[in-house]
Amino acid sequence: MNVFSQSFASTVMKKVCDWQLQNPVALNERNENDWARAAFYTGVMATYRTTQEKKYLDAAIAWSESCDWKLARRLRHADDHARGQTFLEIYEIMQKPGMIADVQSTFDSLIADPKSGREDWWWCDALFMAPPVLARLAAATGDNRYLGFLNTMFWDTHDFLYDKEEHLFFRDQSYFDKVRVLQYLPKDDPFRDRYVALLQEMAAAIKRIQGEDGLWRPSLLDAKEVPHPETSGSSFFCYALAWGINNGLLSRDEYLPVVKRAWQGLNSWVTAEGKLRWVQPIGAAPDKVTMDNYQEYGSGAFLLAGSEIYRLNAAP
């Protein structure tokens, strides 16, 4: 079985996506856990983009409609902005303004009453939740105010959270949010080169600490603290590294072996039914994880990785 072929990537993506759609995590119904489901639906849309099977687009639309196309309740909290990534991706296809009206009004309110990045985006996961929404919103509307706000907030958070010696964000796992921003950031944006340099710097750091099994541990810099694989962060890393190769920002010769080891390792923990195991539960720090742990954000990250493996077509 060639796990790097396009046929395998699309097949395993459908299997994982179908299983997670059929097995939603009840905990994620709570508003403060809304981001976990929102992260999954970025993967549902990646599955649609990869397979062109309409049932995945329909699933994303049905979830968005269940949210009334509105972001979650907390105005300033980046976790509650994450839904906007899927709303905007569907809008890109269907061009119905009501799909992004609440996203736009939310960020208009924040731009009118700004706080610093280190105040509103004070934890590194926030950089996966909100910045890609702003980049997509600017692309959808042509309004560069959203890019200006994104750049101001992002780089202030970077200055607050980034460890310049380890080339990682504090709290260990940054989900390579740069990739989701760079997808929609204009080529002539004055900060683009800085985002690219940060992606390359972090990629080198991540490469050095990859586990022998191709995966990363919950505590990136102390594998012994929680000596088990963790598949959500590993999936995000695999996704970002593959995206960097596919877009000419990372060396294929240097990073393809890293991506292939990661993808191989991830697939070793997908059950026959499509459940991705070894996903750390929701928490504020590296923590215990067991083989049977799963979560929607883990599946979403795996689907994003699969979409880039499909594009990479890394078959020898």
What DSSP string describes 23-62?
A: S--GGGGSGGGHHHHHHHHHHHHHHHHHH--HHHHHHHHH
SS (H, E, C) 192-224: HHHHHHHHHHHHHHHHHCCCCCCCECCCCCCCC
CA 276 to each of CA 26, 82, 301: distance values in angstroms, whole numbers, following the listed order: 17, 22, 10
In whole angstroms, what is the distance from residue 228 CA to residue 139 CA? Answer: 40
Annotated active-site residue in 125, 172, 177, 189? 125
In whole angstroms, what is the distance from residue 68 CA to residue 70 CA? Answer: 5
Q: Does residue 125 carry a catalytic annotation?
A: yes
**Number of helical H runs and strand E runs in the chain:** 14, 2
Other CB atoms within 10 Å distance of the CB of residue 179: 23
Q: Which residues are catalytic?
A: 125
